[in-house]
Amino acid sequence: MSPIAPDSELLRTEPGAPHTEAPLFDILATVPTILGHWRVVIGVPSALLIAALVFVLLRTPTYVATTSFLQSTKTTPGLPSGLSGLANQFGLSTTNLTQESPQLYADLARTREVLNELLQSRYLRSRGDSIVLLHELVPKNLDSDRRVYRGEQRLRDATSIVVNQRTGVVQISVSADDPVLAAGIANRYVEALNRFNLERRRTQEGERRRFLEGRTLDALRDLRSAEDELKGFLLHNRSFQDSPQLQFEKGRLGRRVSMAQELYTMLDRNYENARIEEINDTQVTTQVERSVLPV
């Protein structure tokens, strides 16, 4: 009689046979656990969804106001070519403002001088009241230096500046939680940049005017000296026509007077122009698009 195989041999499966009972068992085993914590499973996603909805509903809306400007084509009268080199020797600038790159204004708008002017200015808001921008952006519990520094950072972050190098148009966009405030800040940027350019132009014209004033006085003294010398020659040589040497001397003195007269006339004309430009308040920048209330 042949031996009977033990139970272990009868139940043994061949290697590689699929085993499908364990995964199904594992999934079913977790069902009681999930049902036992149904409040957590349903409550956590629901709470996150409600929190997201509340954040969206309560979040303060942001308004973006945009303005753009172009450098004015108005030119400042320059020095004559013969005097430009002399002015440069004295360290005086003779460059016209219209030759500057529009990138200058973008960089200037980010300087502390312009930002501080905007921060200390007062602006209207849509509800009818007015505020100082620094008080709106930075809490009052900080010391003055830290408040200004923090205000500059926040204003820079709220400002976007784009320069079109092809057309020369500079576009400034400002974001704020109030549409009237955003538009006011954007327009104030252009006002601050134009005021800076006016002051700098007056400084340049002041230097130019003082330089020309000194040269004009020197030219006038040279003219008077040449005229006196010619006058003295004529008084002492009434019959100079009879002498070739005296005729030559008279011609030389006459040419000296003519040259001195031309130089004085040219300098005096440019000096008068410089005096006018020094007090000229014509805007250097032209606002192409004034910022209106954003929607």
pLDDT for 39: 58
Which contacts qualify for 251-254: CB closer than 8 Å, 24 or more apart? 253/226, 253/229, 254/230
User: pLDDT band at residue 9, thresholds of 50, 70 and 90?
Assistant: very low
Task: Indicate the burial class of 283 (C-beta count within 10 angstroms; 0-12, 13-18, 19 or more).
Answer: middle
Strands laid side by side in the 63-71 sheet: 159-163, 169-176, 63-71, 285-289
Task: Measure the CA–CA gap between 88 and 93, rounded to whole angstroms.
Answer: 7
Assess whether pLDDT exceeds 50 at residue 210.
yes
Assess whether pLDDT exceeds 90 at residue 161.
yes
pLDDT for 4: 42
Which segment of 40-44, 52-56, 234-238 scores lowest on mean pLDDT? 52-56
| HSE (side-chain half, CA atoms, 13 Å) at 231 | 6
Residues 236-277 have pLDDT tens digits of: 888 888 888 888 888 998 999 999 999 999 999 998 888 887
Task: Measure the CA–CA gap between 285 and 184, rounded to whole angstroms.
Answer: 18
pLDDT for 278: 75
Mean pLDDT of the chain: 76
Query: Are β-strands 169-176 and 285-289 bridged in parallel, bridged antiparallel, or unpaired?
Result: unpaired
Task: Measure the CA–CA gap between 284 and 71, rounded to whole angstroms.
Answer: 6
pLDDT for 10: 36
Residues 282-294 have pLDDT tens digits of: 655 666 666 666 5
Residues 71-122 have pLDDT tens digits of: 765 554 555 555 555 555 544 444 444 446 788 888 889 999 899 999 999 9
Provide the token pair at 104: 């200058």
44 versus 166: which is more confidently predicted?
Answer: 166
Provide mean pLDDT across the span 223-232: 92
Q: If you search the block for the tokens 């000229």, which residue do you land on?
A: 280
pLDDT for 35: 56
Provide the token pair at 240: 């100079």
Assess whether pLDDT exceeds 80 at residue 29.
no
pTM confidence score:
0.56
User: pLDDT band at residue 52, thresholds of 50, 70 and 90?
Assistant: low
241: Cα separation from own chain's centroid: 70
What angle in degrees, to the nearest 10, is found between the helix axes of 144-157 and 112-119? 100
- Single out the residue of 24, 69, 38 nearest to residue 189, CA to CA: 69
Provide φ and ψ at 137, rounded to 5°: -85, -30
Assess whether pLDDT exceeds 50 at residue 1.
no
pLDDT for 136: 86
Which segment of 142-146, 179-183, 191-195 scores lowest on mean pLDDT? 142-146
Provide the token pair at 136: 């709106």
Write the single-letter amino acid at 120: Q
